[in-house]
Structure 1
Amino acid sequence: MSLFKSLIVVLVLACFSQNINSQNFSTNGNAIRHIANAKINGTNVLYIGELDGSLSLYDLKGNKFWRVETQSPSVLFEIESADINGDGNDELIAATANGNISCWNYKGEQLWNYSGDHKIRFSEVAVVKNNGETQIFAGGNDYTLYELDTKGQLVSKTKISGVVRKIEAGDFLETGKQSLFLMTYSHDKFRWEFMGILDANSKNVIKQVKYSNKNFKQLSRAMVTDINVADINTDGKDDIMLFSDSSFKPFFAALDGELNVIAQYVGNNKQAQRYAHSQGTFIPSKSEIIFQHGGLMLILDNQGKLKETGGSRYGKMVFSDFTLEPNSNQLIAAGEVDGGNAIYFYDLSKKNWWKTVHKKVGRMLEVENNLSTLYKQTLKFNLPDYQKKSESEWVMITPEDIDPRLDNLGGGKIKFVIQKSPKESTDRSHLVKIMGDVALKKDRRGKYQDSREAIVQMARDYEASGQPFTFWAGHGNDPFYIQIETLEKILEVAPNTCYGFVYAEMHNPKDPRVVHFINDYLPRLAKAIRKNNKAKLYFRYKNMFWAATSHLPLWKDMFFSGEYSDFLVPASEDTSNRIQDLNLAGRVGMFSGGYVNDFAMRLIDDNPTSWRPLSPGGQNSVSPYLRQGVIMAAYGAKYGVVSTSGFVEEPGLNTMFALMKSGVLPIVEKQNILSIGSWHLIKDVDEHLIHSVDNHHNLKLYESDDENAVFSVAQMHWAGTNIPEYDYSKIALGVNYRWTNYMPEMPNGMVPIAPIESAKDLKQTGVGFSISDGKHGFINNEKVDAKTFGPELKKVAKEGAENLPVLIEGASWSAIKLDENHIRVIMVDPGYLDPQERHVVVKFQNRKPKQAIDILSNETLKISDNQLKLKVPAGSMRFIDVSY
């Protein structure tokens, strides 16, 4: 920042009056994740942190003083404001998953940066002040507590157990003397490894509570999503507030410095909201605790007793963060969890302030308007003469309410299918004889109270009424929700309406139940399904199953042998996944490589997650679900296991259904995908890599070698981190960091993942491919490390990109052949939780286009120098037909 601009900042801040209630405003940044109140020249201002690490400074009237964009995007996990250099003004400290702890002054100048001597996923930072001395503590995933001085120099390292969940400074044990609260996790949602108070100087443990402590039984079962510090019982010492989701109900607990529970609130079933975002803070002037749980705003007293309730269950405006501005008596809410960039104010002096209903401003209003335009245009769309209506149908397994206006669209056919989950009570002694008592293991999430006869009768009734249906038939916890004899009978009595069976998370090939399912159930189901000729088996797997785990021997025989290609439908169980891009590329490889005839999109309300406690849920906008569904459909997924929560605003997924039924989104056959540049083949897949990723609940898997892989830093403890330059996701798909990447930008086109057996066909067609085992690469059949392999991977991807008819920068995309002279190019805003308008360049290659038309707006677009420059609206998409 120039000297002149620095002087302007000082002058404006000096003149700003604090005694004013502010108006809501939007920033010119992107998805806000954090906000911190700070004092500059005696004036209260706001430091703002965005999802990808960008930082800014605003005053309470919405004036921006500066904004800096991160040079290495990754998830920003925490910001703190404190006077670090002793100049009387609060600096900004940020902890980011790219391994940096950085310090910025109020002028927007970076004072220092600490990055360590190895790759770390930093997630927490705290500032301790005692007797005029300032200490900075940070932690992440490498089992180390870092201490820095005020210039960012390393002072000490202390070995700790578990991945850091929270570090906070406070006068926990003695007024006027700060110590450290430290909480670490070994499980991705629950079960702290350590929770206690440390002496800031010696780093010795002063107090701690064991996970097994019966007094903390309820807290140990809660997913803690926000932790703050305040003196809530006015004893002059700080307390620790924990805002949680417990079985989807709100749960609050506060601990004093002795780690005694001093306040608690347990919500009820009427307040339950699936994966609701829980945040909160303390208002000293009122001695009240503010607790946002999804769409609810709960007002608690300082003992946790409920005083008032605002908002509504599954309500709107779910905020990312809160801070208190005491001088103007305002509670400030920052950013909607959908990816909003707005700041909202609650005037605490007003009666019933917690019932304030805010009007949307900023990015999420922009997204809402963009999707409204998209829907209106789609409802008016008619197929062009050159687009043939597909004879196939979309199959959407969904409980969504369908807009009757879709009946007027004639460009495609959709079969809407319900899903039910009966659990069979039939005796299992015959299964015990085969595999032992493990056959008796059942899923705790349901009651096994349905008889075989009742389940078959249910199917018979659906057949009689003409109701298409599927049954959820098994899970990794129990593959036998419904037994084989019952499945066969269902297919027999409902030949026209049974659309198949759903299985989830059966990922362990050494589980005797899984082995029995594959060896015994699958051949029998194949025989019964082929009589039906309509039913499918939908397999939902998470982590990097479709990119790597599926290449293990047992799975490879099942999914890549071709024996069951007619009815296996791979879907992705991505509820806690950092590597959705890999699963997408793996499913596209299975489909385009001819190993399966179909694959499925899975859109579900807990999708926007990566490390669950630190990933917000409760998205009001359908935009993330809609955009990922469109990209998967644009690569061949015509089946869907789809559902949105009560949070999502109307018209919900009807926008996607309208795109399908109008023909704007055509059913894509594998031979018509024109955006596959090269392939990546898996040979002798690395089992150690797979098991370290598949074991996703376990956070204690850090290895310094995690970065040295073609599919690198994919384990849960790396959630949010930036990806090395030589990684497949970075080179092939343009992914910058491991968070939620359903919609990779694909700068080299799609690079599908398939088994080494595809090499023969690719050689015959002259299509390039690279080879790895997931960890190492292969060059001339010699195994090399990932860093050495990077240039080879890049070379193959670049060469493949040069052969495509179009190449697109700035959006997630697909190119689909409609006929010999027409291509439909689909471009989607790739920011899953940070939607923004994208400046896109479409580069035409190998064939000169005649014309390009936006098929929804009917705008003819200008092509210059074989390029087309356009904008993709925030949170939305565009459909361009190119004529030759």
Structure 2
Amino acid sequence: MFRLNQAIFLGLGLAASLWASPIHSAGISSFDTGHTITKVRVAQHDDQSMIIGSSYDGAILALSSDGKPLWKNDLSGIMNHDVWCEDITGDRNDEILAANADGHVYCLSTSGKLLWEFKANDAPMYSVCVIHQAEKPFVVCGGFDNNIYYLSPEGAQVKRLSSKTYSIAKPWGNDPFKPAPPKRLHMANFLRKIVHPDGSETLVVHGSMNGMQDKGVVYLFDPLADKPTRTTAVNAGRGIGDLVVSPNGEEILLGTSAHGNDSSMTRMNTKDDEQSSFKLSSLKKQVDGFGYRVVQPAIYPVDDTFGYFLLYGRQIVLVPQDLKAANCEVHSCRFSFNDMWMDEANSRVILASAQSGGSCIHLLDLTNEKWKQDFAELVPPGKITAILKASEMVRQRTRAFSRPQWEREPLPVYLMSESVDQSLQPLVDEIQRTSSSPVFLDHQHFGVAEDWDRSSLGNEKYAAKRDRRRKYTLTPQQAVDALTDIYDSEDGAAYWAGHGNDPYMFTLDTLQKVIDAADGKKTVLIYPELEDHSEDFAFVLNNHFYPLAQYAQGKNTNIYVRTKHSFWQGNVYLPMWNRLLSGEFADVFVPAMEETTDKAMELSIAGRSGIWASGATNSWGSRCARDNTSFDRSRQHSHQMLPNHFLRMMVYHISGGAQYIDNFSVDQEYMSLLWELIAKGALYVPKRNEIVSYSPVHLSMHEPDHEYMLESSNVKWCTFFDAEKEAQRPMVFSRLNGSWPGAPVTQWDFSRYAAGVNDRRLNFLPPYENGLVLITPPQHGPHANPDAPRGRLLDNLHPIYKDILNEHHTDGHRYLSADGDQSFPADRYYETIESDIKKAAKQLPLTVSGQVAWVAAQTSPTHLRLTLIDSGYINPNPRQAVVHFHTAQPAKMRDILFGTEFDLSDPTAVTVPVPLGMFRFIDIELDAPLVAQP
């Protein structure tokens, strides 16, 4: 039975990665493609409808109307932002046009042949459609270079229309550290067309300059015109994530890409520009509240009872013409979906894959009322089903697992924000009875803060700051009492003590009194979004954070710095953070991240790990939240209901030493598997001097370059692209601002040559095939601090690194000499570092290839623990990890949960299958210790 279970476990992922037979029910048909489908459309071929899908990695594939696979074209391996299907050659077969994040528009035939490609520059293409002038077709495309292009049916450029010649966009704000872009620029968020009754067409342009906060403007153009015939500002809903023109051309429907509180559909009349809106919040508890979703609207084609069909995460909302909530119907599924296309001709809805890494395309037959029940009961076959089954098998094997006798006692992992569901309390009780870890800290989220006199604070900016989500009503004593009351158990508590919007939510005096009242119980003070790098924040550090850290020392209290963007490879190297960086408060500060809107997760793991490994802090932390997946705020398909991506991210981070976990609960029953892995010791939590999967090459940060700081933190404005400027400034860490969602990284970018990723998207699980390249404080030269309390990097690492460390230097923009006097261009010097990394890999005990995230740690003199994780964050796939042994001499290699033993006859390449959406824990027994014991 044991061997049978392991065979089933490995076979689940393989089966789900292949095309499978369609599954039909009365109201829904599910076609498993083996790929994570992010876009769906319908094309016509020989007078027959075919289904077109775009995969997570940019492949275009076609299915027959009954779900049979026809063809697949991989294209560039980079995501497609938009797909349009229409006949542009006059042969009565559609062409398929894909607006790709690599800057191309690709044109394919309905046989899958690439006909042509167009690229103006490197900026991602974002939208594409076809428009006719006097029956002559033109492809219209645009994206993040702020232009619109007209192309011939053969792909030749006919016209370029710059948004600066007509746009009314007006940026706001005056923050010098996040400067607004120039006026009168917008990117082409959507390009669609109105087909009038006489057959003439009008181009619809939705222009946007900020993916999260801009409502945008609708411009209507005659084909090939220089100026719009009408310009209409959208008056409801910030962040437009979908735009659909009704088949009769009378309405433009705009759906938001936003938080649930702000989600809406706006209906714009094309004759008089009148607008009316339907807010999803009007449905109250009928729809999910918290979360980030795209409202995808369509005209409901079946009857007159409802006017509109909305896909909203995991829910379908049927809305009447009068937009009254009382007359709506809401139908809920367990899973959310990546995209929707209304096939009016056939009265069906096509759904892309489930957002949690699904692999199906689903067809809803709107003429069959049973679609509503089938939708409610849908559990997608393919990848979703495979993940659910494999997860349950891992849980069962974990419960049967016993920690090897050679491993030390586990380190504590603090779960900081788990409000345990009553149904899971028996499991928590059992964990607490039998294991010292994980530790469930008491937690409470307040809607109130302390009201205190800030007139003498000494800083005008922060004296005026408030968090608008809170009411400032508490007296100092009420604040002390409220925070003290959180400590319900002996384990301690975690709570927000402030925020980047207002670090002074509670005074220093109040927090000191609460720390005293805790009397040695674990206290974690959470400070989200500390990203300000102005002199005003330097004041806050000296006035509030450093005195608080000093007071917290020796009192079992931590300050959880939950920041954003490039903080741990940027801001922290500014002079104001020197006391944290020195290790003076190593036992207090915990580096963590809130990685939303960001596109450089492979950098932050190198940054946080480098801070920890250097000795600047003694711990590090991690967080999962709904909008982890919101790398593109204009398309927030961020309502994953199966948090398998969270599970794998936590396995990776905890196996890399993270001990402070601040997770948003999505499906706590599913995530409780993580609790069991920790409690049983199956998930090994290493000390920094046990890890042997760091590259000997590390990149030391000097004070960050000003331009790099601006680029890496200004992630919401999306009209910054300047081709000439980009050509003149190759950067070590590049393409980080809001103009690059999904774009390929440059050849010289650290993310490519060190981390092994190819795009600016969601690389939470980077492969780092030659070992994790740490980003660290300088160790040599005048910028090093040899007297810092943290000590030297080599003294904090495993002894194998004593004589093999190799340091390079950067300011984020260019490479530097150790003294900083010389600089080296990023697009040339990278070759030196890339070569060093590859050579240094041979000095490690082992390395791993095969698109998996991995960590290796020494658990005893003759044992290593190797953790392997499927690296597809929301695009899981079965992986073939290949373990390459270098300095280690393996005697035995065994999966600790399933008992699989691996053939070591060729230790240079040992293959370990990793099922999709899963991970494996491998014990490696050595012939001899890595380092001779004293």
Q: TM-score, normalised by structure 1?
A: 0.91
Which residue pairs with 2:221 in the alignment?
A: 198
Partner of 1:424, secondary structure, is strand
1:453-464 matches, within 5 Å, as: 453-463=477-487
Letter in 1 for 2:246: A
Shift of 1:41: 0.5
Mean alpha-carbon deviation: is it higher for 197-206 or for 90-99?
A: 197-206
Q: Does 1:226 align with 2:242?
A: yes
Contact 2:41/2:53 (<8 A) preserved: yes
Letter in 2 for 1:770: H
Shift of 1:49: 0.4
- Distance, in Å, in 2 between the alignment partners of 1:27 and 1:20 is 14
Q: Over residues 137-190 of structure 1, what are the superposed CA-to-partner deviations in whole Å (9 max), with x where a residue is unaligned?
A: 111111111111111111121111444253333226774211211122222213
Shift of 1:244: 5.1
- Distance, in Å, in 1 between the alignment partners of 2:461 and 2:925 is 63
Q: Does 1:734 align with 2:737?
A: no
Change in CA separation of 1:400 and 1:79 when aligned onto 2, cut-off 3 Å: farther
Contact 1:24/1:342 (<8 A) preserved: no
1:202-221 matches, within 5 Å, as: 202-210=225-233, 216=235, 219=236, 221=237
Shift of 1:619: 0.4
Partner of 2:779, secondary structure, is helix
Contact 1:681/1:758 (<8 A) preserved: no
- Distance, in Å, in 1 between the alignment partners of 2:336 and 2:489 is 40
- Distance, in Å, in 2 between the alignment partners of 1:757 and 1:20 is 64
Shift of 1:292: 1.8
Letter in 1 for 2:501: N
Letter in 1 for 2:40: I
Match of 2:767 among 745, 749, 758: 745
Change in CA separation of 1:840 and 1:253 when aligned onto 2, cut-off 3 Å: same
1:483-562 matches, within 5 Å, as: 483-510=507-534, 512=536, 514-532=537-555, 534-555=556-577, 557-562=578-583
- Distance, in Å, in 1 between the alignment partners of 2:228 and 2:572 is 45
Which residue pairs with 2:348 in the alignment?
A: 330
Shift of 1:668: 1.2
Report the RMSD for the aligned CA atoms in angstroms.
Answer: 2.4
- Distance, in Å, in 2 between the alignment partners of 1:439 and 1:733 is 42
Q: Does 1:278 align with 2:295?
A: yes
Q: Does 1:631 align with 2:631?
A: no
Partner of 2:890, secondary structure, is coil
Q: Does 1:652 align with 2:670?
A: yes
Change in CA separation of 1:351 and 1:624 when aligned onto 2, cut-off 3 Å: same
Shift of 1:328: 4.1
Which residue pairs with 1:690 in the alignment?
A: 709
1:75-474 matches, within 5 Å, as: 75-116=79-120, 118-160=121-163, 161-171=184-194, 175-210=198-233, 216=235, 219=236, 221-231=237-247, 234=248, 237=250, 239-243=252-256, 245=258, 247-248=260-261, 250-258=263-271, 260-261=273-274, 263-267=276-280, 268=282, 269-270=284-285, 271=287, 272-286=289-303, 288-306=307-325, 307-312=327-332, 315-351=333-369, 353-356=371-374, 357=376, 358-390=378-410, 392-401=412-421, 402=424, 404-405=426-427, 408=430, 410=434, 413-422=437-446, 423-432=448-457, 434-436=458-460, 438-463=462-487, 466=490, 468-474=492-498
Letter in 1 for 2:911: K
Which residue pairs with 2:885 in the alignment?
A: 844
- Distance, in Å, in 2 between the alignment partners of 1:430 and 1:349 is 66
Shift of 1:224: 2.4
Shift of 1:444: 0.7
Shift of 1:254: 1.5
Match of 2:629 among 608, 628, 637: 608
Q: Over residues 453-477 of structure 1, what are the superposed CA-to-partner deviations in whole Å (9 max), with x where a residue is unaligned?
A: 1221234434575362122011121
Which residue pairs with 1:11 in the alignment?
A: none
Number of aligned positions between the proteins? 845
Shift of 1:204: 1.6
Letter in 1 for 2:336: V
Match of 1:831 among 859, 872, 892: 872
Contact 1:609/1:616 (<8 A) preserved: yes
Q: Does 1:794 align with 2:831?
A: no
Give unpaired runs (5+ residues) of structure 1: 1-18
Which residue pairs with 2:172 in the alignment?
A: none
Letter in 2 for 1:521: H
Shift of 1:853: 0.5
- Distance, in Å, in 2 between the alignment partners of 1:281 and 1:797 is 52
Which residue pairs with 2:175 in the alignment?
A: none
Which residue pairs with 1:859 in the alignment?
A: 900
Contact 1:502/1:537 (<8 A) preserved: yes
Change in CA separation of 1:163 and 1:418 when aligned onto 2, cut-off 3 Å: farther
Contact 1:136/1:149 (<8 A) preserved: yes
Contact 2:591/2:608 (<8 A) preserved: yes
Partner of 2:913, secondary structure, is strand
Give unpaired runs (5+ residues) of structure 2: 1-23, 164-183, 785-791, 795-801, 927-934
- Distance, in Å, in 1 between the alignment partners of 2:573 and 2:196 is 54
Letter in 2 for 1:180: L
Contact 1:227/1:243 (<8 A) preserved: no
Match of 2:41 among 23, 36, 47: 36
Letter in 2 for 1:296: Q
Q: Over residues 617-674 of structure 1, what are the superposed CA-to-partner deviations in whole Å (9 max), with x where a residue is unaligned?
A: 11011111111111111211111111223xx3x5232111111111111221001111
Letter in 2 for 1:865: D
Change in CA separation of 1:155 and 1:400 when aligned onto 2, cut-off 3 Å: farther
Which residue pairs with 2:848 in the alignment?
A: 808
Letter in 2 for 1:301: P
Partner of 1:618, secondary structure, is coil
Contact 2:253/2:297 (<8 A) preserved: no
Partner of 2:498, secondary structure, is strand
Which residue pairs with 1:8 in the alignment?
A: none
Shift of 1:566: 1.3
Change in CA separation of 1:684 and 1:435 when aligned onto 2, cut-off 3 Å: closer
Contact 1:544/1:580 (<8 A) preserved: no
Q: Report the identity percentage.
A: 22
Q: Does 1:783 align with 2:803?
A: no
Letter in 2 for 1:425: E
Q: Over residues 300-333 of structure 1, what are the superposed CA-to-partner deviations in whole Å (9 max), with x where a residue is unaligned?
A: 1344345442334xx5121112223345432221
Contact 1:421/1:473 (<8 A) preserved: no
Contact 1:264/1:303 (<8 A) preserved: no
Which residue pairs with 2:683 in the alignment?
A: 665
Match of 1:480 among 504, 524, 532: 504
Change in CA separation of 1:400 and 1:792 when aligned onto 2, cut-off 3 Å: farther
- Distance, in Å, in 2 between the alignment partners of 1:476 and 1:173 is 50
Change in CA separation of 1:37 and 1:658 when aligned onto 2, cut-off 3 Å: same
Change in CA separation of 1:296 and 1:23 when aligned onto 2, cut-off 3 Å: closer
Change in CA separation of 1:162 and 1:519 when aligned onto 2, cut-off 3 Å: same
Letter in 2 for 1:35: V
Partner of 2:572, secondary structure, is helix
Change in CA separation of 1:464 and 1:725 when aligned onto 2, cut-off 3 Å: closer
Partner of 1:654, secondary structure, is helix
Which residue pairs with 1:15 in the alignment?
A: none
Shift of 1:241: 3.8
Mean alpha-carbon deviation: is it higher for 457-466 or for 804-813?
A: 457-466
Which residue pairs with 1:873 in the alignment?
A: 915
- Distance, in Å, in 2 between the alignment partners of 1:35 and 1:237 is 24
- Distance, in Å, in 2 between the alignment partners of 1:819 and 1:261 is 71
- Distance, in Å, in 1 between the alignment partners of 2:272 and 2:892 is 69
Change in CA separation of 1:254 and 1:606 when aligned onto 2, cut-off 3 Å: same
Partner of 1:146, secondary structure, is strand
- Distance, in Å, in 1 between the alignment partners of 2:517 and 2:198 is 74
Shift of 1:692: 2.3
Partner of 1:397, secondary structure, is coil
Change in CA separation of 1:176 and 1:709 when aligned onto 2, cut-off 3 Å: same
Change in CA separation of 1:70 and 1:497 when aligned onto 2, cut-off 3 Å: farther
Mean alpha-carbon deviation: is it higher for 843-852 or for 275-284?
A: 275-284
Partner of 1:586, secondary structure, is helix
Contact 1:184/1:192 (<8 A) preserved: no
Shift of 1:237: 4.1
Shift of 1:243: 4.7
